[in-house]
């Protein structure tokens, strides 16, 4: 297959992580960078909820195409928190931009990239895209998700996953497309919808006489029900357009079309009835006259009456110009209202007016308003009559051409009269309307003649005409053509389905061979890992495709021979929890090692939850012996497993660290994390107190030097087994120095022993603890002076021979010695650095 020839093979120089930085991401508020330039692999131990999994989350986020974590999702829904949960909740307050940064090296070529963890657009950097192209198998293995592949995934899902691991995704799509096409073609070849539709139309066209396709029955129906009522001699021998009877039917239908038949008579009758008709009501027995001409005549009569009525009322209400005045005056002279003494218009006293009194004025106003109301009603009737007449005129003008166009030479006189009437009507309202009595009489005579002609034709042939007969036969021929086409299509689709099945069988067989070959390559290392974990006697796991004759080859079965009478069974139903865990772990790790050669990076997050101590040690040994060429990042909350890793893995390639606490205002605190001088000075440069950082730095130095010197401390209570206060460490160191007769030089400006000063920590406590006094703010000047004193004291703890600061004290020695193999000089205090 050509697709297999273009497969991406691993590069000569594989990619490895050189650094991983987290800033404001998940549990990490302050920036934290993991350096892999000297030690390629990393193991982190921490209790649950301390931020260890955030390191693996950072890798998943960096390589995620959607810029989120799978368990968080794209938006807040159901139990998913969405991308917003990736940013530390205090990042905005601390003005820290949440982001993940990686450095990558391939041979001598190094590159890096950063990805923001906030905002709607979180573009994946180019370096992550490059690594993603090398990850045929996802490099992150989480303990809680291992069982999914074994127990939850369907065979189809497993097949898709493994095919992508094997870089056979295009072939999987080919299989899917061929299978989908074959299914569609097969379904189409068996689809009888078109034939059913033809039968339904046939039953409708034959008035349910023939309900299913039967050529003989259809031919009999055409001869007896369609042709026989017209001509008993006209018989079709076959339902084809070339049959002699059909050819004769075409000739007769054309001849019938050239003369007025039943349909034409009815059309003329309808056109005439649109102008004038006379219908007798069956219930009342009354004769009702209708049509455009009577309607227009009635509208003209109503209009004439309305004009006369409006003219008469207009004369009575000649003073309509005073209507508004009368309306305004009516409430002033209403009954029960005090009447004005003078006219509100001309200021003439009411008693001196023509009416002489308020009552007479009231009667005068009422009379004229009544006359105005009658006129308004007459005007409204006139307007309605004009509208009705215009509408009736429009309908008449539109109806006249309908009858005029249908009349032939036999009705030439009526046609001429109608044309003359049409001309007269068109001139209304500017010209007088011609009389309609003669036209109405002529139309009535025409309708009577048409009705008689229709009755005569119907009595002879009913509703049968050669034109309708030909139309029915043509529809039967069309249905026959549609059915024949459907039958031919089904036949061809059936042949195509058989051909596709044959081709799909050949293609699937070739793909199956290739997939099975690659599965065999994966199966051996998978079983090696599985047996290494579960023991040599563990039954091997098989990765099997369906049988060759199975039409659905896109399935991957995970099988095991549990017992002689339980062969080829699913592991989920027979294996223990740790065994199922081991199957999934072995498959994933074998696949990563086999197919991720371009970037052999493996991230393991709490993978030993289901194992006992022996199995954990075995897994540690497995990583040491089989994955030495890989870059592995491990996070675990199991301290025994962490110790096994330290015991069996090479220190030169592995960096082991533990998280000793989660500081909400900082992030995870690592055992090897130290507060540097630069961090303290940066706080002061920003105008902020560094008392907390000073306390942390002093405690870290005390813990380190006490560990190197092997001081004796009291065993702590169980709930605080590894937590020592600064005062305890300083006192224990002072005791050891006193017993060894080692006396540090006094720190300038401090009159007592500086270790006693460390026990108290007055300046640090003053700046880092709440003070009740009104002047409780810390002093940066005091902090700086204190820090210089501490650095002066700290500088004495250096080897006088090689100036190194790492020491050890075997049990047989009273005094510490330099930890450097080439030195091992007995400890003596070096000269103190200059004081501030």
Three-state SS string over 336-354 comes to CCCCCCECCCCCCEHHHCC
Q: Are 229 and 461 in contact (CB under 8 A)?
A: yes
Q: Give me the pLDDT at residue 179, please.
A: 77
Q: Which two tokens stand for residue 274?
A: 């649109």
d(CA 294, CA 426): 16
Q: What share of the chain is helix, strand, coil (3-state, %, to 5)?
A: 55, 10, 35
Per-residue pLDDT tens over the stretch 433-471: 888 888 889 888 888 888 887 777 666 555 677 888 888
Work out whether strand 557-560 and strand 15-23 pair parallel, antiparallel, or are unpaired: unpaired
Neighbours of 124 (CB within 10 A): 17
Q: Are 53 and 43 in contact (CB under 8 A)?
A: no
d(CA 552, CA 555): 7
| Residue 829 within any structural domain of the chain | no
| Residue 831 within any structural domain of the chain | no
Ordered alpha helix ranges (H), 686-779: 691-709, 726-739, 754-760, 762-768
Q: Are 18 and 37 in contact (CB under 8 A)?
A: yes
Same domain, 450 and 340: yes
Same domain, 667 and 678: no
| Residue 490 within any structural domain of the chain | yes
Same domain, 400 and 499: no
Same domain, 568 and 663: no
| Residue 830 within any structural domain of the chain | no
Same domain, 393 and 435: yes
d(CA 357, CA 101): 106
d(CA 148, CA 146): 5
Q: Give me the pLDDT at residue 20, please.
A: 96
Q: Which two tokens stand for residue 31?
A: 């920036």
Q: Which helix (H) or strand (E) holds 620?
A: helix 613-626
Taking the mean position of all CA atoms in its chain, how far away is CA 67? 15
Q: Which helix (H) or strand (E) holds 117?
A: none
Q: For residue 692, which of 705, 704, 701, 679 has the smallest C-alpha distance?
A: 679
Same domain, 303 and 439: yes
Same domain, 162 and 298: no
Q: Give me the pLDDT at residue 774, please.
A: 45
Which CATH number covers residue 653? 3.40.50.300
Neighbours of 553 (CB within 10 A): 21
Judged by DSSP in three states, 253 sits in helix
- 429 preceded by cis ω (within 30°)? yes
CA distances from 451 to 269, 292, 458, 460, 533 (A): 8, 20, 11, 14, 105
Q: Give me the pLDDT at residue 329, please.
A: 58
Identify the bridge partners of residue 42 per DSSP, sorted by sequence position: 633, 655
Looking at 459, 493, 522, the residue that finishes a domain is: 459
Q: Give me the pLDDT at residue 5, please.
A: 39
Q: Which two tokens stand for residue 750?
A: 């401090």
Q: Are 134 and 13 in contact (CB under 8 A)?
A: no
Ordered alpha helix ranges (H), 770-835: 780-794
d(CA 326, CA 323): 5
CA distances from 6 to 110, 572, 593 (A): 27, 37, 21
Looking at 673, 696, 711, the residue that finishes a domain is: 673
| Residue 549 within any structural domain of the chain | yes
Same domain, 624 and 735: no
| Residue 140 within any structural domain of the chain | no
| Residue 673, Cβ density class (10 Å: 0-12 exposed, 13-18 middle, ≥19 buried) | middle
Same domain, 578 and 487: yes
Q: Which residues of 270-306 are buried (b: 16+ CB within 10 A; e: fewer)?
A: ebbbbbbbeeeeeeeeeeeeebbbbbbbebbebbeeb
Q: Are 134 and 126 in contact (CB under 8 A)?
A: no
* Gyration radius of the chain's alpha carbons: 53
Same domain, 386 and 319: yes
Same domain, 126 and 173: no
Q: Give me the pLDDT at residue 289, please.
A: 87
| Residue 68 within any structural domain of the chain | yes
Q: Which residues of 200-213 are buried (b: 16+ CB within 10 A; e: fewer)?
A: ebbeebbeeebeee
Count structural domains, the chain. 4
Same domain, 6 and 124: yes
Q: Are 442 and 419 in contact (CB under 8 A)?
A: no
Taking the mean position of all CA atoms in its chain, how far away is CA 100? 26
Judged by DSSP in three states, 712 sits in coil
Q: Give me the pLDDT at residue 682, please.
A: 82
| Residue 165 within any structural domain of the chain | yes
Work out whether strand 277-280 and strand 287-290 pair parallel, antiparallel, or are unpaired: antiparallel
Per-residue pLDDT tens over the stretch 195-210: 888 888 988 888 898 9
d(CA 422, CA 416): 10
Q: Which two tokens stand for residue 805?
A: 């600061």
CA atoms within 13 A on the CB side of 318: 2
Judged by DSSP in three states, 42 sits in strand
Q: Give me the pLDDT at residue 632, please.
A: 96
- CA 217-219-221 angle, to 5 degrees, is 70
d(CA 626, CA 645): 14
* Count of helix runs (H) and strand runs (E) in the chain: 25, 16
Q: Which helix (H) or strand (E) holds 110?
A: strand 109-116
Length of the chain: 836
Domain hosting residue 408, numbered range: 265-459
Identify the bridge partners of residue 43 per DSSP, sorted by sequence position: 634, 656
Residues in the chain where the model's pLDDT stays below 50: 1-10, 321, 767, 769-774, 776, 835-836
Looking at 534, 564, 593, the residue that finishes a domain is: 593
């Amino acid at each position: 297959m050509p697709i297999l020839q273009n497969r991406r093979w691993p590069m000569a120089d594989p990619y490895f992580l050189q650094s991983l930085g987290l800033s404001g991401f998940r549990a990490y508020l302050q920036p934290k960078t993991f350096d892999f330039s000297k030690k390629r692999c990393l193991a982190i131990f921490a209790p649950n909820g301390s931020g260890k999994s955030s390191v693996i989350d950072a890798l998943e986020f960096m390589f995620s195409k959607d810029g989120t974590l799978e368990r968080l999702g794209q938006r807040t829904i159901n139990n998913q928190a969405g991308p917003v949960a990736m940013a530390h909740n205090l990042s905005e307050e601390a003005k820290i931009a949440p982001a993940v940064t990686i450095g990558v090296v391939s041979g001598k070529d190094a590159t890096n990239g950063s990805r923001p963890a906030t905002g709607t657009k979180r573009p994946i950097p180019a370096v992550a895209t490059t690594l993603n192209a090398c990850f045929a198998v996802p490099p992150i293995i989480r303990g809680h998700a291992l069982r999914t592949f074994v127990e939850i995934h369907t065979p189809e899902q497993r097949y898709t996953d493994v095919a992508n691991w094997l870089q056979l995704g295009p072939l999987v799509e080919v299989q899917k497309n061929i299978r989908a096409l074959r299914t569609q073609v097969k379904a189409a070849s068996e689809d009888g919808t078109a034939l059913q539709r033809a039968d339904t139309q046939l039953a409708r066209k034959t008035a349910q006489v023939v309900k299913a396709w039967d050529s003989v029955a259809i031919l009999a129906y055409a001869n007896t029900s369609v042709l026989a009522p017209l001509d008993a001699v006209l018989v079709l021998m076959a339902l084809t357009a070339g049959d002699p009877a059909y050819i004769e039917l075409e000739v007769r239908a054309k001849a019938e079309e050239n003369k007025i038949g039943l349909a034409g008579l009815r059309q003329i009758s309808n056109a005439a009835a649109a102008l004038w008709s006379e219908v007798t009501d069956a219930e009342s027995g009354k004769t009702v006259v209708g049509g455009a001409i009577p309607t227009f005549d009635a509208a003209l009569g109503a209009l004439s009456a309305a004009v006369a009525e409006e003219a008469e009322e207009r004369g009575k209400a000649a003073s309509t110009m005073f209507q508004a005045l009368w309306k305004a005056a009516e409430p002033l002279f209403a009954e029960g209202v005090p009447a004005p003494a003078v006219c509100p218009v001309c200021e003439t006293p009411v008693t001196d007016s023509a009416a002489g009194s308020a009552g007479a004025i009231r009667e005068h106003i009422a009379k004229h308003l009544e006359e105005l109301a009658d006129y308004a009603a007459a005007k409204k009737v006139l307007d309605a009559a004009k509208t009705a007449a215009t509408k009736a005129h429009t309908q008449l003008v539109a109806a006249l051409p309908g009858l005029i166009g249908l009349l032939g030479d036999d009705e030439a006189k009526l046609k001429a009269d109608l044309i003359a009437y049409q001309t007269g009507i068109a001139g209304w309202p500017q010209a007088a309307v011609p009389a309609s009595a003669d036209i109405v009489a002529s139309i009535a005579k025409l309708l009577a003649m048409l009705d008689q002609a229709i009755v005569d034709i119907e009595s002879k042939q009913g509703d049968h005409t050669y034109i309708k007969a030909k139309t029915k036969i043509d529809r039967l021929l069309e249905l026959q053509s549609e059915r024949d086409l459907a039958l031919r299509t089904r036949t061809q689709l059936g042949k195509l389905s058989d051909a596709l099945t044959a081709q799909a069988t050949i293609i699937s067989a070739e793909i199956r061979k290739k997939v099975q070959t690659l599965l065999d390559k994966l199966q051996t290392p998978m079983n090696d890992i599985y047996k290494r974990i579960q023991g040599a006697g563990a039954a091997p796991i098989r990765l099997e495709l369906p049988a060759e004759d199975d039409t659905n080859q896109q399935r991957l079965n995970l099988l095991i021979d549990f017992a002689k009478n339980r062969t080829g069974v699913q592991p989920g139903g027979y294996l223990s929890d740790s065994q199922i865990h081991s199957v999934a772990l072995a498959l994933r790790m074998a696949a990563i090692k086999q197919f991720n050669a371009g970037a052999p990076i493996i991230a393991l997050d709490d993978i030993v939850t289901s194992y006992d101590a022996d199995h954990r040690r075995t897994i540690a040994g497995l990583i040491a012996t089989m994955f030495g060429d890989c870059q592995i990042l491990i996070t675990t909350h199991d301290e025994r497993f962490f110790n096994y890793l330290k015991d069996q893995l090479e220190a030169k390639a592995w960096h082991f660290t533990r998280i000793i606490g989660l500081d909400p205002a900082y992030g995870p605190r690592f055992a090897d994390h130290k507060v540097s001088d630069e961090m303290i000075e940066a706080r002061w440069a920003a105008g902020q107190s560094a008392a907390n950082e000073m306390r942390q730095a002093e405690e870290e130095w005390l813990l380190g030097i006490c560990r190197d010197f092997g001081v004796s401390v009291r065993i702590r209570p169980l709930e605080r087994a590894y937590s020592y206060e600064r005062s305890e460490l300083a006192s224990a160191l002072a005791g050891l120095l006193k017993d060894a007769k080692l006396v540090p030089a006094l720190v300038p400006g401090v009159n007592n022993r500086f270790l006693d000063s460390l026990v108290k920590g007055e300046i640090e406590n003053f700046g880092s603890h709440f003070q009740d006094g009104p002047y409780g703010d810390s002093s940066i000047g005091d902090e700086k002076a204190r820090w210089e004193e501490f650095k002066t004291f700290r500088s004495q703890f250096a080897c006088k021979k090689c100036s190194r600061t790492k020491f050890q004290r075997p049990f047989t020695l009273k005094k510490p010695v330099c930890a450097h193999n080439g030195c091992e000089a007995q400890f003596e205090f070096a000269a103190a650095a200059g004081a501030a």
